[in-house]
Amino acid sequence: MIDQIAGILSNIGLETVAGTVQDSLIPLAILAIGSALTGGLPLLTSPLFEFSLNKVFILSLFFLHPQNPTVYFALGSILAGAALRRMISGREFWRYMVTGITMVALLKYAPALYQRFQPGVQDQVAIVSVLPVLIFIEIIINAAFLKKGSDFTMLSGVVLISYIAAIPLSIMSLIMVTNEGIPGAVLAFAGLTGFSFLGRSINRKHVWNTQRIREISSQDRLATRLMESSSYGEFLAILQGNLFKHSGSSIRALTKSSGSFDWVLWSPDEQFGLDESSINGTFPAKGEFTGNFIANNIYGTALGLSEARDMIILFSGPEQNILQSMPGSLLENLVLLLDHTWEAVGHSLRSERSFLAAAVTLARLADSKDDYTHGHSLRVAGLSCSLGRSLHLSPENIQILRVAAILHDIGKLAIPAAILTKRGLLTRKEREIVEAHPVEGARIVSGLSGYEEVTRIIRSHHERLDGKGYPDGLCNGDIPFMARIVAVADTYDAITSDRSYHSISASESALEAIRKETGSKFDSRIVSALEAILSNETVSMA
Ligand SMILES: [Fe+2]
């Protein structure tokens, strides 16, 4: 029966298909199509790795039956599946196809050519011998499709590593398929797909981080623009224009009023006094949001900006769900940014606002010198102000604290980026340079009259209560209280943002590390205030 079918198929010119009935090529071909459809093996962080899983199958097929024409049937399946997937995703179709077809052609003809010069060499040995040529040509093809400005050294490394991964994997899957047949193929497929998904999730995390950094930088630019607005109306108009694409979406703010009304509702072009009765919905705490919030018949999602629940931003219209789709850390940054900038607009002196705007821009510059500290200064400022408020500092002092915390690492502008981003231990000389940043920062700000307190805080934010800090080795009460606040906030943020995600355990371990140094490095009153703030957050998260 099988022979008859094979005969019919060969009669109509499909000899290549007929051959598959007799050997283990069927499981391999199924496996290959599956691999092409689920998408290659994007190991580590490069999309170039995606070809590797298919490489595994192409190599397996050639090792198995170098001379069998049915190999080309299986390869056709791989390429067709891959082309289909690439067409759907619309990415790099031509680079993929040219690499695939060239590779197959080379695998077919290069070993034969090699055998002409070295007669009697086994097929499999010939394939392995021509692999270096294959790798070289693949690097050339990829380079030809490479976007301008991409890194050629990285690309060559990626292609090489993908072969190093592909060769043992192909030999393994080959052994499984030849020994176990279809069950072996299923097992190999499961293992390789799992491997592929692992690679993909790593890849996605990388892409997400890059995107996050880009978005945070654009948020900092937004901060500068927001702070320069001369009224709350202008503030809301700028925010609306930046966050929303749809003209039907709008942003309003609701703040507690000290006048004859309970609340003030601000919109880009007007403001109303509102009584409690015209508001319907739960006021969210800082960083939280509540849907179905209604104020003066305006329906939307409310974002809380203060722990006291007396300030919210109301998003309405078709894009009001923007908050739900925002990753947690981005939302956190947005809340900090809006909190700082709204308060800055409230300050009547335009010069002060411009100063804050410039401060944020400078802090952004200092942060961007170090890969790991994006958004660090604004977060430290947010936490410092919360600490300051819970320690009952006056509004004037909170404002000083805010500026000092935003600018605390400004001295890093004077440190070469190569030292700031260096992995591993610093030499003594390098450490001295890094430890000069509080002095440098103070020097940068010291020229501004009226910012003497800010200058002192910046200079002393790395001092320790036991006198072992730098640059002056001050003890206990000699260290400005607000500098001690910045020190705690700085350490807390450095530990929690050391991970690519925020979790309760990260904040727990940061708190644990800070507790250990209470009394020797940190002020116990400030640590208690931090504990209180964090336990409030945990309660409100539960
Ligand atoms: Fe610092």
Q: Is 260 helix (H, G, I), strand (E, B) or coil?
A: coil
CATH of the domain at 198: 1.10.1760
CA of 193 to the centre of ligand 1 (A): 45
* Strands in 257-379 per DSSP E: 263-266, 271-274, 279-280, 289-295, 298-304, 311-316
443 CA distance to ligand 1 middle (Å): 14
Q: Quote the CA–CA distance of 96 and 91 in Å, as a whole number.
A: 9
The encoded tokens of residue 415 equal 């440190």
Q: What is the pTM of this model?
A: 0.46
Query: Shortest CA distance to 281 belongs to which of 259, 263, 258?
Result: 263
Same domain, 186 and 242: no
> Of 342, 357, 392, which residue constitutes the final position of a domain?
342
Say whether both 381 and 526 belong to one domain.
yes
Tell me, yes or no, whether 20 and 153 share the same domain. Answer: yes
Q: Ligand 1 centre and the CA of 428: distance in Å?
A: 18
- Tell me the CA–centroid distance for residue 409 and ligand 1, in Å: 5
What residues does 265 pair with on adjacent strands?
A: 254, 272
Residue 196: is it exposed, middle or buried by C-beta count within 10 angstroms (0-12/13-18/19+)? Answer: buried
Q: What is the DSSP letter of 284?
A: P
Q: Distance, CA 28 to ligand 1 centroid (Å)?
A: 58
Q: Judge whether 137 lies within some domain.
A: yes
Residue 320 Cα to ligand 1 midpoint, Å, equals 38
Range of the domain at 237: 232-342
Tokens of 447: 């020229």
pLDDT digits (tens), the chain, 542 positions = 445 544 443 443 333 333 443 455 666 666 566 655 555 433 333 444 444 666 777 777 777 777 776 677 767 767 776 677 666 655 567 777 787 788 878 887 888 888 888 888 887 788 888 888 888 888 888 777 765 545 566 667 767 777 777 777 777 777 777 777 777 777 877 777 776 666 666 655 555 555 555 655 566 677 777 777 777 888 888 888 877 777 778 889 988 877 777 888 888 888 888 888 888 888 888 888 888 888 888 888 899 988 888 889 999 888 777 777 676 767 777 787 787 777 767 664 455 656 666 677 677 666 766 655 567 888 888 889 889 988 998 888 888 898 899 888 888 877 777 777 766 677 888 888 888 889 988 888 887 777 888 899 999 999 999 999 888 888 888 999 999 999 999 998 888 776 444 455 667 778 888 888 888 899 999 999 998 888 876 544 43
Give buried/exposed letters for 478-509 (b at 16+ CB in 10 A, else e): ebbbbbbbbbbbbbbbbbbbeeeeeeeeebee
CA of 405 from ligand 1 middle (Å) equals 10
The CATH number that applies at residue 396 is 1.10.3210.10
User: How far does the centroid of ligand 1 lie from the alpha carbon of residue 423, in Å?
Assistant: 18
Q: Is residue 126 situated within a structural domain?
A: yes
Please state, in angstroms and rounded to a whole number, the distance separating the CA atoms of residues 200 and 207: 10
DSSP code of residue 518: B
Number of domains in the chain: 3
* Eight-state DSSP code of residue 519: T
Own/partner long-range contacts of 216-220 (Cβ < 8 Å, ≥24 apart): 216/330, 216/333, 216/374, 216/375, 217/364, 217/368, 217/374, 219/330, 219/333, 219/334, 219/337, 219/375, 220/337, 220/360, 220/361, 220/364, 220/375, 220/378
The 3-class secondary structure across 376-411, one letter per residue, is HHHHHHHHHHHHHHHCCCCHHHHHHHHHHHHHCCHH
* CA 458 to ligand 1 centroid distance, Å: 8
Rounded distance from Cα 216 to ligand 1 centre (Å): 20
Contact at 8 Å (CB) between 302 and 322? Answer: no
Residue 215 is assigned to a structural domain of this protein: no
483 C-alpha to center of ligand 1: Å?
Answer: 11
Q: How many A from CA of 322 to the centre of ligand 1? A: 34
